[in-house]
Amino acid sequence: MKKMIAGVAAALLAATLALPCGAISAGSAILLDAQTGRVLYERQAERQSLIASTTKIMTALVICEQTNVLDRVRIPKEAVGIEGSSMYLKEGEILTVQDLLYGLMLHSGNDAAVALAIYCGGTVEGFAELMNDKAQRLGMKGSHFVNPNGLDNPEHYSTAKDMAILASYAMENPIFYKTVSTKTVKIGDRYLRNHNKLLWSLEGADGVKTGFTKAAGRILVSSCTRRGRRLICVTMNDRDDWNDHKTLMENGFADFTVRQIVSFGECLGTLPVISGDGNTVELLAMEDFSYALSPEEEPQIILSKPDFVYAPVVQGQSAGYAYVTLEEKTIGKIPLVYGQTIEQQTVKEPSLWERLWKGGRT
């Protein structure tokens, strides 16, 4: 996952889906293959924008990583009567962290966001610092958070690309995944239904969050998993987001498949050995490498290695890198090691008789 995030953050290579002109209504959008980190589609993906309640993806992730979801939380007065969408918390009532996560992600409760923020960070401001720290560690360079719920603030923003990075990472957290993939849940006398309509209308949809304010427009971050492959889609300021996500997801699964290009332990080449008891040594890949590719795309493997190596050579010793390229752009870097130990060739010393005989010859 860390390698995938690094790949996305570096924007290795973007592909173009075969979409008709005007098919997508979003002001900015991105479609990401979560397994390989390849961007399959993008439009103004690094443009900063208000993100409304999709902010709660970061809120939930920080809570999942830094608290115990079985902990019981007494609702403080600061979390009651928050503007916007709400699960209508009451001061002094006690709910578990998991209950509040459901209220946060299914019902988009702004009050649940504040309750969780205060419980985890002490204050809303303290929790925002945790959010920004996590964003920095994930490589979300175009994002800044000032609150846990996404209420409009000029200092609170992100990009489609950053939100895709965040969602890809968050969906690997089992508690987060369980929460956002839940369609309905009953908490006491509260019946919560997930606002994400794709859970009912798109095959394989399993997350993640909706968002809307008048200033931000309609924002949607979605996840869809089919046959073990996950795509993440983000649209911002999109009046037709449900249909746009369906279009992007269906095309992403149809137009690209993940192919394994290199296997761990695979011999990718050989290297001449000078002064060794063997003439060549194999160069073995130390990692698997897969990538989302269209049928007509053929990646190339380029070895970064010297022309030869002097013995001795030790099996498992670092031997440089193999670079996987596509359309002259690097999409992967794989460490190599030597496949065998090649000892230095032993030079036999001449015997006394051989030295005398050679010295006596004319």
118-170: pLDDT as tens digits: 999 999 999 999 999 999 999 999 999 999 999 999 999 999 999 999 999 99
* Residue 56 among the catalytic residues: yes
Q: How confident is the model at residue 276 (pLDDT cuts 50, 70, 90)?
A: confident
pTM here? 0.87
| Whether residue 108 lies in the annotated active site | yes
Higher pLDDT, 349 or 212: 212
- Residue of 49, 85, 86, 108 marked catalytic: 108
Reported as a pLDDT band with limits 50, 70 and 90, residue 97 is very high
Q: What is the pLDDT of residue 13?
A: 53
**Exactly one of 53, 158, 181, 223 is catalytic; which is it?**
53
- Which of the residue ranges 18-27, 28-37, 40-49 would you say has the lowest mean pLDDT? 18-27
Average pLDDT value for residue range 10-37 = 76
3-state SS string over the chain? Answer: CHHHHHHHHCCCCECCCCCCCCCCCCCEEEEEECCCCCEEEEECCCCCECCHHHHHHHHHHHHHHHCCCCCEEECCHHHCCCCCCCCCCCCCCEEEHHHHHHHHHCCCCHHHHHHHHHHHHCCHHHHHHHHHHHHHHHCCCCCECCCCCCCCCCCCEECHHHHHHHHHHHCCCHHHHHHHCCCEEEECCEEEECCCCHHHHCCCEEEEEEEEECCCEEEEEEEEEECCEEEEEEEECCCCHHHHHHHHHHHHHHHCEEEEEECCCCEEEEEEEECECCCEEEEEECCCEEEEECCCCCCEEEEECCCCEECCECCCCEEEEEEEEECCEEEEEEEEEECCCECECCCCCCCHHHHHHHHHCC
> Each residue of 308-322: pLDDT tens digit?
999 999 999 999 999
pLDDT for 11: 40
* Selected catalytic residue, list 56, 134, 161, 209: 56
261: confidence class by pLDDT, cuts 50, 70, 90: very high
